[in-house]
Amino acid sequence: MVDASKDEMVRSLDGIEGVRRVAVVPEACDGEWIVSADLSPAAADEVLKVFHEHRIPHDDYVILRQEVIAPGPGPGISSSAEDGFAWVEIVGEARAHARPVARYVMLMMVAGVIAGLGVITDNTILIVGAMAVSPDLLPLCATSVGLVGRRYFLARRAFGTLVIGMGLVTIVALIMTLALATVGLIDRGMNIEFFDLRGLANADYSTVLIAAAAGIAAILSFETRAANAVGVAISVTTVPASGFMGVALALGDLDQALGALVVLAINLTLLVTTGTITLLLQRHFAPRSHSRTEAKDEYLPE
């Protein structure tokens, strides 16, 4: 940062609630300045807005969350400021998980193998294993973030990644079932309609309620970085139906495959809907350093 804008920047930062210990030191080589400060999560969005107003390039600043090991707040002191809602952090996480990177593709394919075997053997333990492997929670939440932030390209890309993942589970389960039937390890005429898992192809009121609740849990876990723990529960609405559809298609049971597709479509729709509503409410009611922070976030990088 050049000297001409240093004082104005420091005054802007010092006036934000939740920003403390603003320090300015000269950079050793080129005569510019380094400004550092401690800030609460609730102040991060306002700080980023100040950076944008002062035309600070995106590659000239960094905001990091640090885990602090220290005594908790005393009686009567709220910790909400330290645990506040930082929209910039949510958007960053969403951008990182909106694309079908190689690891995501491989994990979804592995989930397809496990889910397909779970359906073939009518084994709920394997279905749970497939849910544990699947990382579909991440693009699901990124879709909601894109919708709430009006970043529709991000939302489309994230939802596309989610659909690609479900498609991979279905295709892998289908190919594996065909391969096992070809070598004679399973009976091509087996009827999965009478399996205990046949409920994966039947939508009822519980399908709606579970998917709606899962969408809320998904976005809350995404905000609190508990995605690994909650992701297994969320995947109950996606991976089992996708794997069931793949096996049903391979066995020529089109009615069961269509039923699973309907269940999957209902689940994805409700997951995104309730997740988006939850995030919208979180963003609206979360404590902020200044009420003037706008719903639009054009000051965040794409």
Task: Name, of 3-7, 42-46, 128-132, 196-200, the range with top average pLDDT.
Answer: 128-132
Q: Which of 137-151, 216-230, 272-286 has the lowest mean pLDDT?
A: 216-230
Q: List pLDDT tens digits, range 88-115.
A: 778 888 888 899 999 999 999 999 999 9
Instruction: Give the rounded percent of residues in the chain with a pLDDT score beyond 90.
Output: 40
CA distance 30 to 162: 46
Residues ≥6 apart with Cβ < 8 Å to 27 = 33, 34
Tokens of 157: 């890309």
Per-residue pLDDT, 274:
95
Phi/psi at 32 (5° precision): -90, -175
- pLDDT band at 48; cut points 50, 70, 90: confident
Per-residue pLDDT, 286:
62
Q: What is the pTM of this model?
A: 0.76
CA angle 67, 71, 76 (to 5 degrees): 115
> What size, in residues, is the chain?
302
**Model confidence at 184: pLDDT above 80:** yes
User: Environment class of residue 197 by beta-carbon count within 10 Å: exposed (0-12), middle (13-18) or buried (19+)?
Assistant: buried
Task: Name, of 25-39, 133-147, 200-214, the range with top average pLDDT.
Answer: 133-147
Cβ pair 136, 263 in contact under 8 A:
no
Per-residue pLDDT, 294:
44
Cβ pair 45, 11 in contact under 8 A:
no
Single out the residue of 111, 104, 101, 162 nearest to residue 132, CA to CA: 111
Per-residue pLDDT, 196:
75
End-to-end CA distance of the chain: 23
Task: Name, of 3-17, 207-221, 259-273, the range with top average pLDDT.
Answer: 259-273
Per-residue pLDDT, 72:
55
Per-residue pLDDT, averaged over 46-68, amounts to: 73
**Model confidence at 200: pLDDT above 70:** yes
* Greater model confidence, 134 or 236: 134
Q: List pLDDT tens digits, range 148-161.
A: 989 999 999 999 99
Per-residue pLDDT, averaged over 31-47, amounts to: 75
Instruction: Give the rounded percent of residues in the chain with a pLDDT score beyond 70.
Output: 78
Per-residue pLDDT, 76:
44
